[in-house]
């Protein structure tokens, strides 16, 4: 089986389309907020009582873990991401249904969107800030972007498929 035929199945094409769409939407939102709106100069924007648009330069991975300051750390994170995308692409090529292809496409697209930031800026642009405040309590969620939303949605899809779908009930 050739590499081309390996990645041309119906669910593979669908998953790759989802990945490209997720990556494009993520990059478009970041380009707009960084260069058109100029979030760095215009500061935080309150969208509602629980959500703001802010600029956070994330030099780590999800939720700001493993922060890196130098180029070596950035290249290590990029290499890790490249291996993950390659493995997810192989899984996508073997996808047997729409939910798996959709979920893997979202994860691949989100990972690619954040990898583009890391290559272009040396950090990932995060901007959605969810928070809840009362008189004596405050909850702040991590600042995130559309790529992170795609990755989380993809993981939820994979969990749903493995725990709820028909074959999960038939598993030993």
Among this protein's residues, is 148 annotated catalytic? yes
Catalytic residue from among 117, 148, 161, 166: 148
Q: List the catalytic residue out of 26, 38, 126, 136.
A: 126
Phi-psi region of 30 (alpha: psi -120 to 50; beta: other; left: phi over 0): alpha
For residue 119, give the nearest of 50, 51, 30, 42 by alpha carbon.
30
Tell me the catalytic residues.
126, 148
């Amino acid at each position: 089986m050739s590499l081309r035929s390996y990645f041309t199945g119906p669910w593979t094409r669908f998953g790759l389309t989802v990945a490209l769409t997720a990556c494009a939407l993520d990059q478009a939102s970041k380009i707009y907020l960084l260069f058109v709106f100029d979030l760095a100069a215009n500061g935080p924007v309150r969208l509602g009582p629980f959500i703001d648009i802010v600029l956070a330069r994330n030099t780590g991975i999800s939720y700001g873990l493993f922060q890196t300051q130098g180029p070596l750390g950035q290249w290590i994170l990029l290499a890790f991401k490249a291996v993950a995308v390659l493995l997810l692409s192989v899984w996508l090529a073997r996808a047997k249904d729409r939910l798996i292809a959709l979920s893997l496409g979202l994860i691949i697209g989100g990972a690619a969107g954040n990898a583009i930031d890391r290559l272009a800026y040396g950090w990932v642009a995060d901007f959605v800030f969810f928070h809840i405040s009362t008189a004596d309590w405050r909850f702040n969620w991590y600042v995130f972007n559309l790529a992170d939303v795609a990755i989380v949605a993809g993981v939820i899809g994979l969990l749903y498929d493995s725990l709820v779908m028909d074959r999960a009930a038939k598993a030993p």
